[in-house]
Chains A and B, each alone.
Chain A
């Protein structure tokens, strides 16, 4: 089945630690996105990538980094510079033909120990 796989489902970060969230898609989509979801805040865009080896900052990129070395993969690293990382992180992808229809993974819940 085609879809977007995020792992792990739950992740815990210690103070000063970097952690990486995985996002893999087998939909052959060109564009991929990372959103952060906080209670009562909706979704906010962290980073997006429209093509391999290229990505752009979203609205809240500080304290995060990404890479796009392969079309199917778009990992997100939450660095120690992100002082409030506790949130639900959602990865999405879309085709080049209809970029505005985004398909989402099941999410990763990150908590701080």
Chain B
């Protein structure tokens, strides 16, 4: 079945540091890929997405590129802020469009120190 593996946290960085959160996936066909963010005590918010190979999703300074050859979708940001502290989830929907739900990674807790 489909699966998503992302780096375990917590990841602790200083403000203005460069961020990379690794995400790799296993799926048949051509899944769509997502990054969701969860702030403390809240639900998940869609951060960015990519629907085909070599697509780059971007939002709020975050970027991720769909790499089919390495089955990866790593999240990057050039200069993090304290307000970026949250849990980040990588997820995929299968070729059928995700009508039966998304497959999530376990989440990476990001802590940004001033």
The 0/1 profile, CB within 8 Å of A marked 1, for residues 33-76 of chain B is 01010000111111001000000000000000000000000000
Q: Judge whether A104 and B99 touch: CB under 8 Å.
A: no
Cα(A59)–Cα(B100), bound, Å: 10
A56 interface contact, C-beta 8 A: yes
Query: For chain B, which range describes its interface: under 10, 10 to 19, 20 to 34, or 35 or more residues?
Result: 20 to 34
Q: Judge whether A101 and B46 touch: CB under 8 Å.
A: yes
Q: Which of B45, B49, B93, B107 contacts A104 (CB 8 A)?
A: B45
Q: How far is the CB of B74 from chain A (nearest CB, A)?
A: 17
With contacts A31-B99, A43-B104, A56-B100 taken as known, whether A100 is within 8 angstroms of B43 at the C-beta atoms is no
State how many residues of chain A have any CB contact under 8 Å with chain B.
28
A102 interface contact, C-beta 8 A: yes
Q: Judge whether B106 and A45 touch: CB under 8 Å.
A: no
Contacts of A56 in B (CB 8 A): 100
With contacts A40-B106, A41-B106, A94-B98 taken as known, whether A107 is within 8 angstroms of B42 at the C-beta atoms is yes
* 24 A-B pairs in the complex with CB atoms less than 8 angstroms apart: A4-B43, A35-B104, A41-B106, A42-B106, A42-B107, A43-B44, A43-B89, A44-B104, A45-B100, A45-B102, A56-B100, A58-B101, A94-B98, A99-B93, A99-B97, A99-B98, A99-B99, A100-B97, A101-B49, A102-B46, A102-B98, A104-B43, A106-B42, A107-B42
**Residue ranges of B at the interface with A (Cβ–Cβ < 8 Å):** 4, 32, 34, 36, 41-46, 49, 89, 93, 97-102, 104-107
- Having A31-B99, A42-B89, one finds 5 other A-B pairs with CB under 8 Å, namely A99-B97, A100-B97, A100-B99, A104-B36, A105-B43
